[in-house]
């Protein structure tokens, strides 16, 4: 039973499902007739995998993707019935549970015999998508292993153990305007790999290669389906283009309230190590979020919105809190008082997680996936 102390969160991440639906619809319209797989690995990039998957499907995604089979199983347990694909496995991956729950399995090579064995044990065919490494050098079969993998998959398909549904690959440089030639090379290698699969008698119904940067910048990569991750969350995969430029709306916002506000003298040292000192007599506001909540410790100087005004993080970010120099009169009790709304990013401030990512020397993907477990996600329903 919910108790009163859980009712009003003290810090929160808001998930705007109207924005999420808008992004999925926008992408679906764009890539049509290709289908959209909504990628919800890592708890939906920190947004909540189950909630994101439900809205994405309602808004037009026809597939859901995760990295791990365990992530896909959690979605099945939560009642998600859409086709699901998971592609990163180990010797401990529960392949049999995947087959029994109708989860498609990405196969890069080493796992094909494990998958076949699990299919025999379950007495059900495994639905697989063969993955070719066309140049990212992560998982996927190397080009010289591809013919052998197709041959083995074809044998297993003929005995009814597996059913090859698709062939896929993943790009290394689609986010980089200077990476076009490398994308061309990967795409050419991919098409060759599909030809090889077909020569082995595989039908390859679902050809899929595009991640967000590719689907946004290269229509020739849409094929039968795109795998849309960061873009459905309304984040730009490009350094030089904002979500707005792409017609997308940021889904996550991160807020809290001012926890303390007090006068400080000129020269006052702020937070551990006195990395910041007040240049004038001023007031300091305390924001009760720190690196345990996903505010990167390295992001000194990042922008913060408090009740209509913009400030910067002063000094070190600690585990639970950081300080903002309000640059105001020492006696000013009206600016950013205790309880005033704070936004690190979101629609009130217009700040994006990119600003925090930039201050932290990382990318928006990492920022949103690392929001701490003690920050509740508030889901704002769509419609």
Ligand X SMILES: *Cc1c(COP(=O)(O)O)cnc(C)c1O
Q: Which residues bind ligand X (CB under 6 A)?
A: 39, 41, 67, 87, 170, 211-212, 227-231, 237
Considering the complex, state which of residue 80 and residue 324 has its C-beta at the smaller distance from ligand X. 80
In whole angstroms, the minimum distance from the beta carbon of 103 to ligand X comes to 15
Residues 289, 9: Cα–Cα separation, whole Å = 13
Of the pair 88, 286, the CB lying nearest ligand X is at 88
CB of 318 to ligand X, least distance (A): 31
Query: Which own/partner contact pairs does 305-310 have at CB distance under 8 Å and 24+ positions apart?
Result: 305/342, 305/343, 305/344, 305/348, 305/349, 305/351, 306/258, 306/336, 306/340, 306/341, 306/342, 306/343, 307/258, 307/336, 307/340, 307/341, 307/342, 309/335, 309/336, 310/349
Annotated binding-site ranges = 138, 319
Give whichever of 63 and 311 is closer to ligand X, judged by the CB atom: 63
Q: Count the alpha carbons within 13 Å of 37 in the hemisphere toward its beta carbon.
A: 25
Residue positions in the annotated binding site for substrate? 138, 319
Nearer to ligand X, 29 or 374 (CB): 29
| C-beta nearest to ligand X: residue | 229
Residue 272 Cβ vs ligand X, minimum distance, rounded to whole Å: 34
Q: Is 41 a catalytic residue?
A: yes
Distance CA 139, CA 23 (A): 28
> Two tokens at 300?
């000194």
Contact between 276 and 267 under an 8 Å Cβ cutoff? The reply is: no
Helix (H, G, I), strand (E, B) or coil at 297: coil
> Closer to ligand X at the Cβ: 231 or 306?
231
Q: How far is the CB of 243 from ligand X (least distance, A)?
A: 13
Q: Is 272 a catalytic residue?
A: yes
Cβ atoms of 151 and 164 within 8 Å: the answer is no
Angle at 295 between CA 289 and CA 299, to 5 degrees: 125
In angstroms, the CA 38 to CA 36 distance is: 6
Beta bridge partners of 303: 312
Q: Is the dihedral of CA 60, 62, 67, 69 positive or negative?
A: positive
Q: Residue 318 burial (CB < 10 Å; 0-12/13-18/19+)?
A: middle
Compute the distance between CA of residue 17 and CA of residue 199 in angstroms, rounded to an integer. 44
Q: Select which of 41, 54, 233, 291 is catalytic.
A: 41
Which residue is it, tokens 């910048």?
217
Nearer CB in complex with ligand X: 41/379: 41
DSSP H helices, 123-259, are: 143-158, 180-199, 212-217
Q: How far is the CB of 177 from ligand X (least distance, A)?
A: 16
Three-class SS state of 3: coil
Token output for 208: 């899929």
Nearest-approach distance from CB 87 to ligand X, in angstroms: 6
Which of 272, 274, 310, 380 is flagged as catalytic? Answer: 272
- Give me the least distance between CB of 41 and ligand X, in Å please: 6
Q: What are phi and psi of 82, to 5 degrees?
A: -60, 155
Closer CB to ligand X, residue 229 or residue 234?
Answer: 229
As annotated, the active-site residues are: 41, 272
């Amino acid at each position: 039973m919910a108790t009163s102390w859980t009712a009003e969160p003290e810090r929160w991440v808001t998930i705007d499902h109207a924005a999420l639906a808008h992004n999925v619809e926008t992408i679906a319209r764009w890539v049509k007739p290709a289908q959209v797989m909504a990628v919800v690995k890592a708890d939906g990039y920190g947004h909540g995998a189950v909630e994101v998957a439900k809205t994405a499907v309602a808004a037009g995604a026809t597939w859901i993707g995760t990295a791990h089979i365990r992530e896909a199983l959690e979605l099945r347990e939560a009642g998600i019935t859409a086709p699901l694909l998971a592609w990163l496995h180990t010797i401990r991956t529960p392949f049999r549970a995947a087959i029994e729950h109708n989860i498609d399995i990405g196969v890069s090579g080493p796992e094909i015999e494990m998958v076949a064995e699990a299919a025999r044990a379950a007495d059900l065919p495994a639905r697989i998508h063969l993955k070719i490494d066309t140049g990212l050098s992560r998982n996927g079969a190397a080009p010289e292993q591809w013919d052998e993998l197709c041959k083995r998959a074809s044998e297993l398909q003929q005995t009814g153990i597996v059913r090859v549904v698709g062939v896929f690959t993943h790009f290394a440089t689609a986010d980089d305007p200077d990476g076009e030639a490398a994308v061309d090379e990967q795409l050419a290698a991919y098409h060759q790999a599909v030809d090889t699969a077909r020569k082995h008698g595989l039908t390859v119904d679902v050809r899929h290669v595009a991640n967000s940067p590719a689907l946004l910048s290269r229509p020739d990569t849409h094929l039968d389906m795109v795998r849309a991750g960061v873009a459905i969350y309304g984040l730009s995969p490009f350094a030089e283009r904002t979500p707005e430029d792409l017609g997308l709306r940021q889904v996550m916002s991160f807020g809290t309230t001012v926890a303390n506000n007090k006068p400080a003298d000129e020269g006052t040292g702020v937070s551990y190590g006195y990395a910041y000192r007040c240049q004038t007599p001023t007031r300091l506001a305390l924001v009760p979020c720190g690196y345990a909540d996903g505010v990167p410790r390295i992001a000194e100087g990042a922008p913060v919105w408090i009740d209509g005004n913009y400030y910067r993080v002063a000094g070190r970010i600690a585990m639970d809190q950081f300080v903002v120099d309000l640059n105001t009169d020492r006696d000013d009790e009206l600016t950013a008082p205790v309880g005033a709304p704070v936004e690190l990013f979101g629609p009130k401030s217009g700040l994006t997680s990119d600003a925090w990512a930039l201050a932290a020397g990382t990318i928006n993907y990492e920022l949103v996936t690392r929001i701490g477990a003690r920050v509740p996600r508030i889901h704002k329903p769509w419609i």
